[in-house]
Amino acid sequence: MVMDVLATRLGTAFQVEKRWESHVAKFSGGFLVKPQTYMNLSGRAVGSVGRFYKITPQETLVVFDDVDLPLGRLRLRASGSAAGHNGLKSLISTLGTDQFPRVKVGIGADSGRPAGDRLVGHVLGKFSEEEKAAVAQAVDRAADAVMGALKSGLGAAMNFFNRKEGA
Protein backbone atom coordinates (compact mmCIF):
# COMPACT_ATOMS: atom_id res chain seq x y z
CA MET A 1 0.00 0.00 0.00
CA VAL A 2 2.82 2.44 0.84
CA MET A 3 4.45 1.85 -2.55
CA ASP A 4 1.19 2.58 -4.36
CA VAL A 5 0.80 5.87 -2.48
CA LEU A 6 4.41 6.76 -3.30
CA ALA A 7 3.93 5.98 -6.99
CA THR A 8 0.95 8.33 -7.09
CA ARG A 9 2.83 11.10 -5.27
CA LEU A 10 5.84 10.71 -7.55
CA GLY A 11 3.68 10.67 -10.68
CA THR A 12 4.80 7.24 -11.81
CA ALA A 13 3.26 3.82 -12.33
CA PHE A 14 4.39 0.27 -11.74
CA GLN A 15 5.35 -1.99 -14.61
CA VAL A 16 5.65 -5.77 -14.37
CA GLU A 17 9.29 -6.85 -14.53
CA LYS A 18 9.27 -10.65 -14.64
CA ARG A 19 13.07 -10.86 -14.88
CA TRP A 20 13.26 -9.30 -11.42
CA GLU A 21 10.11 -10.92 -10.00
CA SER A 22 8.88 -7.41 -9.22
CA HIS A 23 6.70 -4.52 -10.13
CA VAL A 24 8.99 -1.54 -10.72
CA ALA A 25 8.19 2.16 -11.02
CA LYS A 26 10.88 4.56 -12.22
CA PHE A 27 10.97 8.18 -11.05
CA SER A 28 13.54 10.97 -11.34
CA GLY A 29 15.24 10.02 -8.06
CA GLY A 30 15.30 6.24 -8.44
CA PHE A 31 12.99 3.27 -8.41
CA LEU A 32 10.13 1.86 -6.40
CA VAL A 33 10.22 -1.92 -6.23
CA LYS A 34 7.38 -4.20 -5.10
CA PRO A 35 8.72 -7.75 -4.98
CA GLN A 36 6.25 -10.31 -6.28
CA THR A 37 8.02 -13.16 -4.50
CA TYR A 38 6.97 -14.48 -1.14
CA MET A 39 8.14 -12.17 1.66
CA ASN A 40 10.81 -14.72 2.63
CA LEU A 41 12.38 -14.29 -0.84
CA SER A 42 12.04 -10.53 -1.22
CA GLY A 43 15.81 -10.08 -1.13
CA ARG A 44 16.08 -11.97 -4.41
CA ALA A 45 13.87 -9.41 -6.17
CA VAL A 46 15.42 -6.32 -4.56
CA GLY A 47 18.94 -7.64 -5.10
CA SER A 48 18.29 -8.28 -8.80
CA VAL A 49 17.10 -4.72 -9.41
CA GLY A 50 19.96 -3.31 -7.34
CA ARG A 51 22.62 -5.28 -9.19
CA PHE A 52 21.22 -4.34 -12.60
CA TYR A 53 21.10 -0.61 -11.82
CA LYS A 54 24.25 -0.67 -9.63
CA ILE A 55 22.39 0.51 -6.54
CA THR A 56 24.26 -0.08 -3.30
CA PRO A 57 22.52 -1.42 -0.18
CA GLN A 58 23.08 1.97 1.46
CA GLU A 59 21.08 3.58 -1.39
CA THR A 60 18.21 1.12 -0.88
CA LEU A 61 15.41 2.32 1.40
CA VAL A 62 13.31 -0.65 2.50
CA VAL A 63 9.72 -0.23 3.74
CA PHE A 64 8.21 -3.12 5.70
CA ASP A 65 5.71 -4.05 8.38
CA ASP A 66 6.91 -4.69 11.92
CA VAL A 67 4.85 -6.68 14.39
CA ASP A 68 7.03 -5.45 17.26
CA LEU A 69 5.88 -1.84 16.81
CA PRO A 70 2.43 -0.71 17.89
CA LEU A 71 -0.10 -0.38 15.09
CA GLY A 72 0.59 2.79 13.12
CA ARG A 73 3.93 3.68 14.74
CA LEU A 74 6.83 4.40 12.37
CA ARG A 75 10.50 3.84 13.02
CA LEU A 76 13.26 4.83 10.58
CA ARG A 77 16.71 3.28 10.92
CA ALA A 78 19.95 3.56 8.97
CA SER A 79 20.72 -0.13 9.49
CA GLY A 80 20.07 -3.03 11.83
CA SER A 81 19.45 -6.71 12.29
CA ALA A 82 16.56 -8.72 10.90
CA ALA A 83 15.05 -9.07 14.40
CA GLY A 84 13.25 -12.23 13.28
CA HIS A 85 11.65 -10.65 10.18
CA ASN A 86 11.98 -13.17 7.36
CA GLY A 87 11.82 -10.54 4.63
CA LEU A 88 14.73 -8.68 6.22
CA LYS A 89 16.64 -11.94 6.63
CA SER A 90 16.28 -12.46 2.88
CA LEU A 91 17.44 -8.92 2.12
CA ILE A 92 20.42 -9.15 4.45
CA SER A 93 21.42 -12.51 2.97
CA THR A 94 21.10 -11.33 -0.62
CA LEU A 95 22.65 -7.89 -0.15
CA GLY A 96 25.41 -9.32 2.04
CA THR A 97 24.93 -6.65 4.71
CA ASP A 98 22.45 -5.22 7.18
CA GLN A 99 23.72 -1.72 6.38
CA PHE A 100 20.71 -0.39 4.49
CA PRO A 101 18.13 2.18 5.60
CA ARG A 102 14.61 1.12 6.45
CA VAL A 103 11.17 2.38 7.36
CA LYS A 104 9.33 0.11 9.78
CA VAL A 105 5.55 0.41 9.85
CA GLY A 106 4.00 -0.94 13.04
CA ILE A 107 1.30 -3.59 12.77
CA GLY A 108 1.58 -4.80 16.37
CA ALA A 109 -1.41 -6.04 18.31
CA ASP A 110 -2.62 -4.22 21.43
CA SER A 111 -1.98 -7.40 23.42
CA GLY A 112 1.69 -7.56 22.36
CA ARG A 113 3.52 -9.81 19.94
CA PRO A 114 1.43 -12.90 19.15
CA ALA A 115 3.20 -16.23 19.57
CA GLY A 116 3.55 -19.16 17.18
CA ASP A 117 0.72 -19.71 14.71
CA ARG A 118 -1.07 -16.64 16.07
CA LEU A 119 1.84 -14.51 14.79
CA VAL A 120 1.35 -15.78 11.25
CA GLY A 121 -2.40 -15.26 11.52
CA HIS A 122 -1.88 -11.71 12.77
CA VAL A 123 0.65 -10.74 10.09
CA LEU A 124 -1.32 -12.29 7.23
CA GLY A 125 -4.76 -11.51 8.62
CA LYS A 126 -7.08 -8.62 7.94
CA PHE A 127 -7.32 -5.49 10.03
CA SER A 128 -10.47 -4.92 12.05
CA GLU A 129 -12.74 -2.01 11.20
CA GLU A 130 -11.33 -0.12 14.19
CA GLU A 131 -7.75 -0.67 12.99
CA LYS A 132 -8.32 0.37 9.36
CA ALA A 133 -8.19 4.11 10.11
CA ALA A 134 -4.86 3.69 11.94
CA VAL A 135 -3.51 1.63 9.05
CA ALA A 136 -4.54 4.26 6.48
CA GLN A 137 -2.87 6.97 8.56
CA ALA A 138 0.28 4.83 8.94
CA VAL A 139 0.46 4.26 5.18
CA ASP A 140 0.25 8.01 4.55
CA ARG A 141 2.86 8.75 7.22
CA ALA A 142 5.19 6.06 5.85
CA ALA A 143 4.89 7.60 2.38
CA ASP A 144 5.59 11.01 3.98
CA ALA A 145 8.68 9.52 5.65
CA VAL A 146 10.03 8.14 2.37
CA MET A 147 9.35 11.45 0.62
CA GLY A 148 11.09 13.26 3.49
CA ALA A 149 14.12 10.97 3.24
CA LEU A 150 14.29 11.55 -0.51
CA LYS A 151 14.03 15.32 -0.12
CA SER A 152 15.98 16.07 3.06
CA GLY A 153 17.98 12.92 3.77
CA LEU A 154 17.49 9.99 6.10
CA GLY A 155 18.80 11.80 9.18
CA ALA A 156 16.27 14.61 8.92
CA ALA A 157 13.46 12.13 8.24
CA MET A 158 14.53 10.06 11.26
CA ASN A 159 14.53 13.15 13.50
CA PHE A 160 11.01 14.05 12.44
CA PHE A 161 9.26 10.68 12.08
CA ASN A 162 10.84 8.75 14.96
CA ARG A 163 9.16 11.06 17.48
CA LYS A 164 6.20 9.59 19.30
CA GLU A 165 2.91 10.79 17.88
CA GLY A 166 1.55 13.65 19.91
CA ALA A 167 4.96 14.49 21.39
Q: What is the pLDDT of residues 95-107, one digit of tens each?
A: 999 999 999 999 8
Q: What is the pLDDT of residues 121-161, one digit of tens each?
A: 445 557 778 888 888 999 999 999 999 999 999 999 999 99
Q: How far is CA 34 from the centre of its chain?
A: 10
Look at residue 92 and give its three-state secondary structure.
helix
Answer whether 149's CB lies under 8 Å from 160's CB.
Answer: no
pLDDT of residue 122: 46
DSSP state of 114: P
Domain 2-161 has CATH 3.40.50.1470: yes
pLDDT band at 167 (very low <50, low <70, confident <90, very high): very low
The ranges assigned to domains in the chain are: 2-161
Does the pLDDT of residue 166 top 50, yes or no?
A: no
Instruction: State mean pLDDT over 60-73.
Output: 92
Rounded to the nearest integer, the mean pLDDT of the chain is: 89
Task: Over range 48-73, report the average pLDDT.
Answer: 94
